[in-house]
Structure 1
Amino acid sequence: MKQSQSHDGSNAQIGAPIPSWKVLIADSQPDQHDAVGRCLASLRHDGRGVECLSAFSAREATALFGQHPDIAVVLMDVGLDGPAAVQRLIEHMDKATATWAGPGLRPRVVLCTRDPDQWPERAAFEATAIDGYVVTAPMATDRLYGAVLSGIRLHASMIAQDSSQKGMARVMVSTAGIFELRSSHHFYFNLLLQINSLFNIVQDSLLFVVGDSAPKDDVARIRAASGRFSALRNQTIAAIEDPRIVSAVREVFQNGRTVQTNEHFAFAIKTRYEVMAVAFIDGALGLSAMERQMIEIFRTKATTAFSNMMLIDELNASQKAAVFALARVAEYKKNLIQGHHKRIERLVSETAREMLQRSFHPEELDEDLVAKVGVASVLADIGMMVVPDQVMHSTRVLDGDSVELIRQHTIVGWEILRDAATMLRGRSILAIAAEVALSHHERMDGSGYPYRLVGDAIPISGRIVSVVDVFDALISDREHREAWTVDAALSWVTEESGRLFDPLVVKAFRTVVARIREAEPDWLATEIASPALAGKITTAKRDLRRMIDRITHLLN
């Protein structure tokens, strides 16, 4: 068995050289191999030449096919081990290609004969699944050339059709997941991941986005990165030192057209919200026309998903702004300094995130709740708006009626937020806030209020907020007492773990507080709103009214 000289063609595509079409010559006569090689030496299709492989028996042909499953055409002499051997080889190739490539992708088989009486053309086509028939005595070079070229074209067409179907499947799979993503961080990361996987590559890649920052500007920021660029996430384009990348990305941002060279590839994904992304993939891709078409299909679907995600971000931002406006009203009502609720939000968010990462209560905690519960927690005491100031700020021991009035703030807050949440679909921030407002004063042993719930009957959101709320109250000054130290407050919360508070929440919370104290020692410092603040409340309320008007305009 031997392999003849390769006749390479020129490369019509950008990138790595494209291999020649392989033609297997199965004939027992060596001179026939040489004659066929000379005949096909000038053949070109799609910029690719021909490489001839030689087999001198059906067994050798079968072995060569096992080594070269990408053979495009088989030229088989009818006298090579008889007609039965021809059909056995065809059946073997059919079975093998169906396993590793797909049905219909076997090489095209052209039967060659020096004596047409040995196996007439009609009989050959009726008896076997051949694709062509050529009489080679004398050598009919033009007819042989045409039969091989026709076979290569048919084989290439079948491959292109199969690749197109598989490519479309990859596009559908790649884009299906990103439609489910609701967070911009996860969307950007997965968008770049799917672009890489679309072409079955692991490349150094970047995703630049313009217009998604608040306030908006025209700076291109790196929102996702892979390979050697991984450390650049959230930096601006100014951090890129390679002028090739900067030039290509800016060109795409300016005119929206795809940029492809033999070194890199960049294309744009636009949205309806004045936000635009540019994906940059470094490395020779050698994209075919079909792959470029796949990119266009992917880009269209990704644009829709991108626009949906931006709409969700805009609605979430509006909802969050409204939540903090209401929370500031509660701050003034309780005479707390501005920023109290942002402290609560951070502690609740980071505690929930810590629990999720450590798989604490996985049946109750998920990514969606973790992303929203911090913001929702700032409305925990919104029901206090109905409590009279003389009760709220009393320094005397409250009587039973006053205590009951204060306890009713949980139900009032729940009713307010529940009614507001009915205007929103799904598990909104306001729906979670309603749950928190009702349950954050419940305690694990059933000693809380309003319904004396016990253990896991208390929603996980309420169990998390209860720990943070009590801790924050202890380290804050009040009219009737001074603030506790952080260590004293932590010790008390820890002592009540299991009785008043969920032990896993307390464990995660202690980790969060320790991490914050190490990184930002002064962050937990608190102040009470002094009497001097009272004179500023009128001005502050006017500013708040203006802010609420702006938020109302945004929501409308």
Structure 2
Amino acid sequence: MSDFLNDWLTEDTCETKENNHQRVWNVLVVDDEPDIVNVTRLTLNSFTYKNKTLNVQHAYSASEAIEIISHSTDLALILLDVVMETDDAGLKLVKWIRNELGNHMVRIVLRTGQPGYAPEKSVIVDYDINDYKLKTELTAEKLFTVVIASLRAYDSLWSLEENRIGLMKILEGTSSLYRISSLKQFASGILDQISLLLKFPPEGILVMAKGMQPDTPERLTIIATTGLYETLEADEQGLINQPELTHNIALAHQNQKSVFLHPHDVLCIPAHNGHIFFIYFSPIYEIDAAEQALLEIFCERMSAAYDNYHLFGQLKKSQEASVVAMASLAEHKDEDTGLHVLRVRDFTEAIANELLQNGHFTDELTQGFLSKVGWASILHDIGKIGIPDCILQKKGKLDSDERTIMETHARMGEDILFKASELIQGRNYFSIAADIAGGHHEYFDGNGYPRGLSGEQIPLSARIVAVVDVFDALMSERPYKTAWPLNQAIDYILGRSSSQFDPLVVQAILALVTEKRLPPVLCEYYGLGKH
């Protein structure tokens, strides 16, 4: 894109829309003969095209014209003399406009009274102009023809350019919506993109949907609002005190297509899962056919983005369900754990986020990791399904041989989860869970099992769960022990910082516990008082 267009596009959006829908065409007459300028202005003042009059400016030299053009982004036409302060001043100005300024939109018509200085054939070939006329042949009628043809060409170019810009905004904007992780983000993205696409932000936008409430699928659900519509409410009949808008929404629903009935335009975005989204906005001007076409493309992209979000959500829930099912197998074997794994999940997520907020392990604590590590931690003891019941459910202390067998659950769980992870491309619940299962009994100083790893050789996920697993076990009552008091559990964890546990993880867990910043269910379970 040219520098000129970049400058134009970065102007204030309100000003941009005003320029595009202004009621005048801006024309610049550049000629060193005052009489020619005056006659031209007088003639052009009576012209109209598409119900717009002409705003005619003038310059008596190329240098004056440069000053005017430099501060104008909406010139439609330049009627340009060739010979002014120099014999080729007009031609040099053409090159400056096209090459240096980068403005390829303005139409340029060369007018000359001395064709010998600028032969028509060579000028048309060598310079990016749109017409070449002798001053003597430009009667009022011919001037009218030249001007209207130039304005028509300019208008068509801007329509094409605006459509191209609109399509680029749709492509750029909706690509980000393919990465959304919540319905709120989806609605927020719609609000942002509508404002950008229309170039002139409406006074408000309302995003609604049907099918979001299983018991009353026909009821409108308001998802997001801006501006004037922030106080609107809906009931079983539609939007309260908004009969015309409710009617247009019903019309869009019935026809499964957008309704453009200014000022109550309603975009319709049907999704494959039965949900239907409606976007209402009231622009200050009537949406034209080109903009309607762009908005329809936008709706199609939004529909695909939402379907992608929904399918991703279903896939995520399927993986989570698989994790829960596998964890249930382990719990069935080890009845002592109860809700232990769910507390481990919530505590693990809290610590991972605390570490990130404190600026630790930022390369590892990505959004993908944060969204999976809690659920993955549920499977930390999945390997216990391979441990004999007589050992797993023994009420007393294990002897050395039994302890050796019990310790095999770490490698066993890692192997099971690693094989499952290979069926799914990329980093997933099972690959993270494999790291946790195989590493949460490793010690930070290298004295743990099964491999004797130390420090950051142990996966971060396993270092987090190592602390959480022990803390929750200490704070929980088991058939062979009573729950420890909070201060004793804290002292135990502190006493093993840098030996058994990662000191940064210990810092994080202690901050969350002492400052009572854990999820409410954990605060209640650990007796931390009010959250």
TM-score scaled by length of structure 1: 0.77
Partner of 1:485: 485
Asked whether the equivalents of residues 444 and 500 of structure 2 are also in contact (C-alpha less than 8 Å), the reply is: yes
* Alpha-carbon shift at residue 462 of structure 1 (Å): 0.7
Partner of 2:170: 171
Q: How many percent identity over aligned positions?
A: 27
Asked whether the equivalents of residues 381 and 413 of structure 1 are also in contact (C-alpha less than 8 Å), the reply is: yes
Asked whether the equivalents of residues 80 and 108 of structure 2 are also in contact (C-alpha less than 8 Å), the reply is: no
1:171-250 alignment runs, 5 A limit: 171-181=170-180, 186=185, 188-190=187-189, 192-198=191-197, 205=205, 207-211=207-211, 221=221, 243=242
3-state DSSP of counterpart to 2:295: helix
Asked whether the equivalents of residues 94 and 106 of structure 1 are also in contact (C-alpha less than 8 Å), the reply is: no
Worse-matched range after superposition: 122-131 or 431-440: 122-131
Q: Count the aligned residue pairs.
A: 507
> Structure 1 58/97 Cα, relative in aligned 2: closer, same or farther at 3 Å?
closer
Partner of 1:72: 76
> Structure 1 42/48 Cα, relative in aligned 2: closer, same or farther at 3 Å?
same
CA distance in 1, matches of 2:513, 2:215: 31
* Alpha-carbon shift at residue 241 of structure 1 (Å): 7.8
Asked whether the equivalents of residues 258 and 296 of structure 2 are also in contact (C-alpha less than 8 Å), the reply is: no
* Alpha-carbon shift at residue 405 of structure 1 (Å): 1.8
2:156 matches 1:152: no
Letter in 1 for 2:387: V
* Alpha-carbon shift at residue 195 of structure 1 (Å): 4.4
Worse-matched range after superposition: 249-258 or 478-487: 249-258
CA distance in 1, matches of 2:148, 2:394: 96
Q: Deviations over 1:30-84 (max 9, x none)?
A: 5544543443345333443211113334443333223334221222356655652
* Alpha-carbon shift at residue 324 of structure 1 (Å): 1.6
Q: Deviations over 1:441-499 (max 9, x none)?
A: 21211222221211111111111111111111111101111101334323322332222
Asked whether the equivalents of residues 267 and 279 of structure 1 are also in contact (C-alpha less than 8 Å), the reply is: yes
3-state DSSP of counterpart to 1:159: helix
> Structure 1 501/185 Cα, relative in aligned 2: closer, same or farther at 3 Å?
farther
Task: Choose from 96, 106, 119 the match for 1:92.
Answer: 96
3-state DSSP of counterpart to 2:26: strand
> Structure 1 186/151 Cα, relative in aligned 2: closer, same or farther at 3 Å?
same
Partner of 2:351: 351
Partner of 2:106: 106
2:49 matches 1:50: no
3-state DSSP of counterpart to 2:76: strand
Q: Deviations over 1:499-556 (max 9, x none)?
A: 21112222222333356568738744279xxxxxxxxxxxxxxxxxxxxxxxxxxxxx
> Structure 1 154/513 Cα, relative in aligned 2: closer, same or farther at 3 Å?
same
Asked whether the equivalents of residues 336 and 478 of structure 2 are also in contact (C-alpha less than 8 Å), the reply is: no
Asked whether the equivalents of residues 256 and 267 of structure 1 are also in contact (C-alpha less than 8 Å), the reply is: no
> Structure 1 510/19 Cα, relative in aligned 2: closer, same or farther at 3 Å?
farther
Partner of 2:341: 341
Q: Which runs of 5+ in 2 are unaligned?
A: 1-16
Partner of 2:388: 388
1:131-530 alignment runs, 5 A limit: 131-134=130-133, 140-181=139-180, 186=185, 188-190=187-189, 192-198=191-197, 205=205, 207-211=207-211, 221=221, 243=242, 252=252, 255-259=255-259, 266-280=266-280, 284=284, 289-336=289-336, 339-514=339-514, 516=516, 520=520, 523-525=523-525
Q: Which runs of 5+ in 1 are unaligned?
A: 1-12, 528-556
Letter in 2 for 1:171: I
Asked whether the equivalents of residues 372 and 429 of structure 1 are also in contact (C-alpha less than 8 Å), the reply is: yes
* Alpha-carbon shift at residue 301 of structure 1 (Å): 3.1
Worse-matched range after superposition: 436-445 or 332-341: 332-341
Partner of 2:24: 20
Asked whether the equivalents of residues 248 and 266 of structure 1 are also in contact (C-alpha less than 8 Å), the reply is: yes
Asked whether the equivalents of residues 30 and 65 of structure 2 are also in contact (C-alpha less than 8 Å), the reply is: yes
C-alpha RMSD over aligned residues: 3.9
CA distance in 1, matches of 2:219, 2:354: 33
Letter in 2 for 1:365: L
Worse-matched range after superposition: 356-365 or 308-317: 356-365
TM-score scaled by length of structure 2: 0.81
> Structure 1 327/78 Cα, relative in aligned 2: closer, same or farther at 3 Å?
closer
CA distance in 1, matches of 2:290, 2:223: 28
